[in-house]
Structure 1
Amino acid sequence: MKAITTEALDALSQAAACRTRLRANWDIHAGATDPVQRFCNAIEPGSYIRPHRHGEAGKWELSIALKGRVVLVLFTPEGVLTDRIVLSAGGPTFGIETEPGTWHSFAGLEPGSVLFELKPGPYDPAADKDFAAWAPAEGDPRCSLFEVWFRTGAIGSAPPARQP
């Protein structure tokens, strides 16, 4: 049995804060072949999660805030920001289910934020997600511009301009 405790979430957040990516996952499921993938995802402020979609039919994603505050951002296929939904352990919105094929990302709004995520398995890294061509890959110098845009960009705004 795996208990999701305050201590476990604090340790996960501490691990995320020490990593370059500023996030850390804790898999609750037994492995990649499990038919239901469930995990805790600690996302610290400043962590860049490249916009993506889960394109396979039936591959929805449920995200619930266990600690802190995280923003879910939604985009058109061209990268226009269409919505920003704050998920907060204190409410009023605790969680949301993202439909298959929805372009999205997350950004941490306060230290110690942790989401519980649930989605159909099995997990196949080659087919799990499609990354947005209009957004930089992790490690690109523009990632910090995008992470700020996720948190502060106007609804209807286009991605930050590409720099040469």
Structure 2
Amino acid sequence: MTKIIDNTLLDKVSAEAKESPRLRMNYNFHTSLDAKAQCLLNAVEPGTKVVIHRHMHTDETFVVLRGRLNAFIYNNDKSIQIKKEINPLKGVYGYNIPKGVWHTIEVLEPNTVLMEVKDGPYTPITPDDILM
């Protein structure tokens, strides 16, 4: 079934994120965690905590559909290598993060929604993939 990505869908997922204790909510377009491509909306609210992490099996690409955030890329010693505001109203739309690169986000605006794409199948982050 086709899906329209419009304000109605973004508002729905944002409302669910606001009600979530994690202050974020996914809306998956892929039909299975085993799918070869993982494509999803990720509605995120200010205050959500995204640990510094990496994906060892895939690049991750995200595009901000609305809202804004800071994206951080880290060195192995936990020092910030890059900090970049992602704001489509300023012509900065997203990021492609190569596999194995440490990263996180800081949400700056309510109702922020990203579209994320990664290779599948879904692989949970392990403790080795979290930078403490």
Partner of 2:54: 53
Q: Size of the alignment, in residue pairs?
A: 130
Measure how far apart 1:20 and its partner are: 1.2
Unaligned segments of structure 1, at least 5 residues: 135-164
Which amino acid letter does the alignment assign opposite residue 6 of structure 1?
N
SS of the residue corresponding to residue 106 of structure 1 reads: strand
Kept after mapping to 1: 8 A contact 2:55/2:125: no
- Runs (4 or more) in structure 1 with deviation over 4 Å come to none
Which has the bigger relative contact order, CA under 8 A and spacing at least 6?
A: 2
Identity of aligned residues (%): 31
Q: Work out the CA distance in 2 between the residues paired with 1:89 and 1:7.
A: 19
What's the TM-score, normalizing by structure 1?
0.75
After superposition, give the CA deviation of every residue in 1:26-75 in whole Å (9 maximum; x if it has no partner): 0011111111100000110011001100112xx10110000110211111
Partner of 1:40: 41
Q: Work out the CA distance in 1 between the residues paired with 2:62 and 2:41.
A: 9
Partner of 2:70: 71
Measure how far apart 1:88 and its partner are: 1.8
Measure how far apart 1:25 and its partner are: 0.5
Measure how far apart 1:126 and its partner are: 6.0
Q: Structure 1 residues 90 and 122, CA, compared in 2 at 3 Å: closer, same or farther?
A: same
Kept after mapping to 1: 8 A contact 2:17/2:44: yes
Which amino acid letter does the alignment assign opposite residue 93 of structure 1?
V
Partner of 1:18: 19
Which amino acid letter does the alignment assign opposite residue 130 of structure 1?
D
CA RMSD of aligned residues (A): 1.4
Which structure is higher in strand share? Answer: 2
Partner of 2:117: 118
Q: Work out the CA distance in 1 between the residues paired with 2:117 and 2:28.
A: 10
What's the TM-score, normalizing by structure 2?
0.92
